[in-house]
Amino acid sequence: MGTPLDRPFVAFAGGPTGHWEVTASATITGSPLPPVSRVDVHERVGLPGPDQAATWTLVGRVSNGRYTRRTELDALTAIQAPLGRRAASRAALIPIRKSPAWWALAQDERRAVLAERSQHISVGTRHAGTIARRLCHSRDLGGAFDFLTWFEFAPEQEPAFDELVAELRGSLEWSYVERESDIRLARRPSNRAA
């Protein structure tokens, strides 16, 4: 991936080619994404256009946290596994859109639902040492989803990852989720023609 970019735009391109093979794909809520066999992940300095070879391209951007307090951020940063670990050959891409009712909440109301009532930050932190996570914001970019979250983990961590998403999906926060897909992936040599 070369030198890490500061706050890159990230394009997730689903289609016939790519470094990540789709092993399972589920529509949790709302409209499905067209099925694909592979996903490629591209980092860009500027806003990327659609990948012409792809069936769909979802674009987000790494941004600042909107809810995490200093104590929570320090606890998370101290243990957060990085992306790109050799053993982390499995991944998940979870695009989410929240409802207008969520976005009509004020900052303190969103924080109360997400953190105090749904434990999103503490649940995530509990798994952060083994499950790498990168949140891309896409709401203000005009796409179909508000957030694109990418996770990487070792194959034996997939049951723990299933627990993590099940716990969040049962939370009050998730009652505000109106579209969600869950795409599971395994790292492979790219099948894109050179």
| CA distance to 6, 91, 149, 194, per residue, from 143 (Å) | 22, 22, 14, 30
Rule CB under 8 A: say whether 9 interacts with a copy of itself.
yes
Closest to a copy of itself by CB, 68 or 118: 68
Between residues 76 and 160, which has the closer beta carbon with respect to a copy of itself? 76
Q: Is 61 in the site for a copy of itself (CB under 8 A)?
A: yes
Closest approach of Cβ 54 to a copy of itself, in Å?
19
- Residues 81-140 touching a copy of itself, rule: CB under 8 A, are 103, 105-109, 111, 137, 139-140
Q: Give dist(CA 178, CA 174) in Å, integer.
A: 8
Provide the b/e sequence for 83-111 (b: ≥16 CB within 10 Å).
Answer: beeeebebbbbbbbbbeeebeeeeeeebb
| Minimum CB distance to a copy of itself, residue 80 (Å) | 14
Closest CA to 50 of 63, 40, 38: 40
Give the number of residues in contact with a copy of itself, rule: CB under 8 A. Answer: 26
Tally the C-alpha atoms within 13 A of residue 25's C-alpha that lie toward its C-beta.
13
The residue among 110 and 127 lying less far from a copy of itself, judged by its C-beta, is 110
For binding to a copy of itself (CB under 8 A), which residues are involved?
Answer: 9, 46-47, 61, 63-70, 72-73, 103, 105-109, 111, 137, 139-142
